[in-house]
Copies of this chain bind each other. A is one copy, B any other.
C-alpha cells in the first residue's frame, strides 16, 4: 500500500484510504450544509474520486451517513470517558464532562448533526446509542455516553440523591447540555454583555439541577 498522505490527497489510480477519506468528507459537508445538503457527488469530488467509487466501501448514501453517526457516538463516548478518568476532584471531573460535551458539539458539528438525524437503520442494533445498553465493539464492552454520565453523577455525589433516581438527574443534565449545544449551533443563544457563555450556562445549570435533587427539592 502506498504511503498515506492525507484524506483529500491522492496520487495514482488507487486512492489508498478511500473509506476514511469519504467519511471525513461527509463529516465536513454535513457540518457545513446539514444532512439534507450533503451529497455523494460533493464528497467524491472533494476526495478526488468518481462517485461510483463510493460503492466499493458503502452500500449507499444512507450507509455513509450512518457510519458518520456511528463514529460520532464513538468519539463522544471516548471524550466523555477521558474526562471521567481525568485528574482532580470528582466535581472537577464532572464539570469537565459537561465542557467536553459542549466542545464536542461545537468542534464536531458533522458528527453531532449525523448522530441526531441518522435514520434508524433497519436491522441494525440500536437506534438510541446514547443510552441503549452498551454494545460490544470488537469483543470489549464499550461504555455509552449516558452510562458515563450516570457514573460521573454517582462518583461526584456518593451520598446519592435521597428520593431521586440518579438517571432522572442524568436525563435532566443531558437535556440541558443538548439544549445549550443545539441553540448555540443554531445561533439562537442570546449573547451580550452581562450574559454568560455556554460553558458558564451549563456549569451553573448543572449545579442547580444537582443541588435541587440533593435537597429533595424536586
Interface residues of A (CB under 8 A from B): 34-37, 116-117, 127-128, 130-131, 146, 165, 167-168, 171-172, 174-180, 182-183, 186-190, 194-196, 201, 204-205, 207-209, 211-213, 217-218
Copies in the complex: 2
How many Å from the CB of A204 to the closest CB on chain B?
4
A37 partner residues in chain B, CB cutoff 8 A: 36
Q: Is the CB of A195 within 8 A of B172?
A: no
Q: Is the CB of B179 within 8 A of A204?
A: no
How many Å from the CB of A189 to the closest CB on chain B?
7
How many Å from the CB of A144 to the closest CB on chain B?
11
A182 partner residues in chain B, CB cutoff 8 A: 116, 178-179, 182
Q: Is the CB of A195 within 8 A of B213?
A: no
Within the assembled complex, what's the spacing in Å between the Cα atoms of A190 and B172? 11
Within the assembled complex, what's the spacing in Å between the Cα atoms of A218 and B35? 37
Whether A167 contacts B190 in the complex (CB less than 8 A), given A205-B172, A207-B218, A212-B212, comes out as yes
